[in-house]
Structure 1
Amino acid sequence: MRLKEGLVGVVPEERLARLSSRFHVIGDIAILYLDPELDGYKDEIASALLDQCRNVRTVFNKITPLEGERRTSRLELLAGEGNSFTVHREFGFRYHLDVARVFFNSRLGYERMRVAVQVKAGEEALVLFAGVGPFAIPPAARGARVVALEKSPEACSWLAENARENGVAERIAVINADAFSMAALLKRRFDRAIVPAPYGMDRIVDALPGMLRRGGIIHFYTFKKAQQIEGLKKSYEDLGLEVLLCRRCGNVAPNVSRWAFDMQKI
């Protein structure tokens, strides 16, 4: 969908150049991040989006970057009902959440399923920074026993509800805790660790080998520039990990991308 095309002749050309055609859709909610120079055209932009995207009922503008432990932004209602609750559907799973209260990235759907299809029934999997459950629920649906750590109490409540909604509550243990306390909390080792680490949380990788059985797999996500990747691979090898796969999975800032690493404990 090309949002800008619907606004030609409505928004002046020099202002329209500042509008990104990319926006975030979670369930039936769209979230824009508008340049301040477009403040006078918010209604027109929101109306164009609703006209072009029939599955969207509410449009918000993100007016702050992610902030706080919940990793949420302050949102400004531009159009629609104003309710920030939604149900996001992804590969047959349903995730209930409040976009104003908890973090959710709908753009990682492919990654979540790429990881999930590698999981075997009977595995013991650890999911850190679990949020409302999109990295924890698909592995549980494939028969894994999952321990999911999440620091936000509100996200934990949604995770527990989503586990019930998707029929996997008996295979997911939800723990409201800081991921960095995992070694003290969990006196056990796992077959697999899934770690969609937030920006700036790379140091968590140092503790992961100690949480895995030999031959165990880590799926780790980090934010880096391309020229940093070779050095990063070497640092992981120094931890006793073999890098099986490294792939870029989305740009987040100029020259900075999200990278996925699949690694095995040697």
Structure 2
Amino acid sequence: MRLKEWLVGVVPEERLARLSSRFHVIGDIAILYLDPELDGYKDEIASALLDQCRNVRTVFNKITPLEGERRTSRLELLAGEGNSVTVHREFGFRYHLDVARVFFNSRLGYERMRVAVQVKAGEEALVLFAGVGPFAIPPAARGARVVALEKSLEACGWLAENARENGVAERIAVINADAFSMAALLKRRFDRAIVPAPYGMDRIVDALPEMLRRGGIIHFYTFKKAPQIEGLKKSYEDLGLEVLLCRRCGNVAPNVSRWAFDMQKI
């Protein structure tokens, strides 16, 4: 989206250079992350966004990085109605959530469907760090029986609501628990594990092979620099996993990307 282009002649050029054209749209809410040097132009920036994006009714500015166990940021209202509750639509699914209270990444829609289309009816799937359900609900819609673990009680509430909204409540078991407790809680094995791990949670992968049947599939997400990837592949092979696919799916910081790994237990 061409946010900078919309503001040419409105914000001075030297200030405009500090503005990122990227912003999140979740449902009808836009979330910016403005440089402090743009504080004097917040109204103009938010107004331009509302004028150009007819589907957006509220604009927030993220004033802290993700923090705490809920992985949320503090938000300030820049324009619009001020309600942080929204409904995000993605590939025919509807996700209700409060952007100020739970984590949601609207940029992973393609990845969620890329994984979902691999799921076969009758599979048993484990989804860790499940949030409000975007990685759990599409597999359930394809006929899998899903166990979804999420540490945030509030996110679990939204996940349960979204499972009902999307007609898959009978195929999803929502468990309010830390993902690292999965082995103690779940005395069973799965055909597939879907693990959109938060930053710094890579050690969860060590416990995944024991949660899978032989031949089971893991979809694992991690944040790494490109030179680290070959060593990472070797470490996964040492766990008894065959790397079927490795792909970059978004940059999150200078030289740091989110990487998707599809792996099979051998």
> TM exceeds 0.5?
yes
Aligned partner of residue 220 in structure 1, secondary structure:
strand
The Cα of 1:258 is off from its aligned counterpart by 0.1
Q: Structure 1, residues 55-81: CA drift from partner, whole Å, max 9, x if none?
A: 000000000000000000000000000
C-alpha displacement of 1:5? 1.2
Question: What is the CA–CA distance in structure 2 between the aligned matches of 1:89 and 1:167, rounded to whole Å?
Answer: 15
Matched, 1:14 2:8: no
4+ residue runs over 3 A deviation: none
User: CA offsets per residue over residues 239-261 of structure 1, 9 Å max, x none?
Assistant: 00000000000000000000000
Q: Deviations over 1:201-254 (max 9, x none)?
A: 000000000000000000000000000000000000000000000000000000
Partner of 1:40, secondary structure, is helix
- Give the match for residue 228 of structure 2: 228
Using the alignment, how far apart are the partners of 1:89 and 1:9 within structure 2?
Answer: 34
C-alpha displacement at 1:186, in angstroms?
0.1
Q: Which whole-Å CA distance do the structure 1 matches of 2:180 and 2:106 have between them?
A: 25
Give the whole-Å Cα distance in 2 for the aligned partners of 1:137 and 1:9: 45
Offset at 1:95? 0.1
- TM-fit CA distance, 1:85: 0.2
- 1:257 aligned onto 2:249: no
Deviation at 1:6, TM superposition (A): 1.4
Return 5+ residue gaps in structure 2 as ranges.
none
- For the residues of structure 2 that align with 1:127 and 1:237, how far apart are their CA atoms? 22
- 1:184, CA displacement in angstroms? 0.2
Q: Distance in 2 between matches of 1:249 and 1:82?
A: 31
Q: Secondary structure at the match of 1:163?
A: helix
* Equivalent-residue separation in structure 1 for 2:178 and 2:8 (angstroms): 48
Separation in structure 1 between the aligned mates of residue 7 and residue 245 of structure 2, nearest angstrom: 42
Does residue 50 of the first structure (1) align with residue 45 of the second (2)? no
Once the two structures are superposed, residues 5-46 of structure 1 have per-residue CA deviations (whole angstroms, 9 ceiling, x without a partner) of 111111110000000110000000000000000000000000
* Aligned mates of 1:78, 1:15 — CA distance in 2: 18
Task: Return 70-79 or 4-13, whichever deviates more.
Answer: 4-13
* The 10-residue stretch of structure 1 (165-174 or 5-14) with the greater mean CA deviation from structure 2: 5-14
Looking at structure 1, the residues matched to 189 and 8 of structure 2 have their Cα atoms a distance apart, in angstroms, of: 57
Distance 2:244 2:260 in 1: 11
State how far apart, in whole Å, the 2-side matches of 1:5 and 1:134 are: 32
Q: Distance in 1 between matches of 2:167 and 2:7?
A: 44
Rounded Cα–Cα distance in structure 2 between residues aligned with 1:263 and 1:136: 18
Instruction: State how far apart, in whole Å, the 1-side matches of 2:5 and 2:218 are.
Output: 43
Q: Distance in 2 between matches of 1:66 and 1:5?
A: 28
- Cα distance in 2 for partners of 1:17, 1:30 equals 20
Residues 1:41 and 2:64 are matched in the alignment: no
* Residues in 1 aligned to 2:246 and 2:73: alpha-carbon distance in whole angstroms: 29
TM-score by length of 1: 1.00
Q: Deviations over 1:85-116 (max 9, x none)?
A: 00000000000000000000000000000000
* Pairwise CA RMSD: 0.3
Number of the residue aligned with 1:164: 164
SS in 1 for 2:251: strand
Q: Deviations over 1:124-181 (max 9, x none)?
A: 0000000000000000000000000000000000000000000000000000000000
SS in structure 2 of the partner of residue 195 of structure 1: strand
Counterpart CA distance in 2 for 1:39 and 1:5 is 19
Alignment gaps of 5+ in structure 1: none
- TM-score with structure 2 length normalisation? 1.00
